[in-house]
Amino acid sequence: MGRRKSGKTKLIERIMGRLSDKYKILAIKHVSKDEFEIDIEGKDSWRMKHSGADTVAIVSKSKLAIIMDHDKRFDIYRFVELLEAIKGEEFDIVIIEGFSRVLGRDENIYKIIVGRDLGSIDEVRSIISGPIMAIVSDADVEESKVLKMDNIETIIEAIEDMLARMKRE
């Protein structure tokens, strides 16, 4: 969790690059705009959606994309269950970028805070509760609990420790 341009995606790329060989990972990205398109205007799937289909699935030999509208009561847990059902297997790790206001106070979700400076880190800390796995910054932040972005080993260890604890429970 963090503000725009804080390095969240950069950190996620590093985490997934290190863990994707060992774990099945689902990455979910929240887009703050109400409307966005992943399909190109005029293409068949775009035309199907815009002519009245509630849901359009685009399927090839190796990829699947689903375009559907949803109501404002988006349930992230139900969404993950749906994707696991579609995939036919559970994910070991779900990485979510965004949804800070919805998931920030969820006591079941482990958080990594990413910030450009101590002010932006404190701003995010003020809106969340629950377990914080790490606090990360690319800048020189004067706080002992803040890890540097390139200290990926410590972040990976925290994630793997959490996974091990969850398996024991």
Report the pLDDT value the prediction gives residue 128, as an integer from 0 to 100.
92
What are the tokens at 140?
A: 């020189």
Amino acid at 98: G
Residue owning tokens 């024991």: 168
Q: What is the pLDDT of residue 114?
A: 94
Rounded-to-10 torsion of CA 120, 121, 123, 127:
140
3-state secondary structure of 67: strand
Q: What is the pLDDT along the chain (169 residues), one digit of tens a residue?
A: 999 889 999 999 999 999 999 999 999 988 776 666 677 888 898 899 889 898 898 889 998 888 887 777 778 888 899 999 999 999 999 999 988 878 889 998 999 999 998 899 999 999 999 899 999 998 887 777 899 988 899 999 999 998 998 888 7
Rounded Cα gap, residues 162 and 158, in angstroms: 6
DSSP state of 107: T
Q: 12: how many CB neighbours lie within 10 A of its CB?
A: 18
**Domains, the chain, ranges and CATH?**
8-34+76-168 (3.40.50.300)
Query: Are residues 25 and 91 in contact, defined by beta-carbon separation less than 8 angstroms?
Result: yes
The pLDDT of residue 113 is 94
30-35 long-range contacts, CB within 8 A, separation 24+: 30/96, 30/97, 30/98, 30/99, 31/98, 32/98
- Specify the pLDDT at position 22: 95
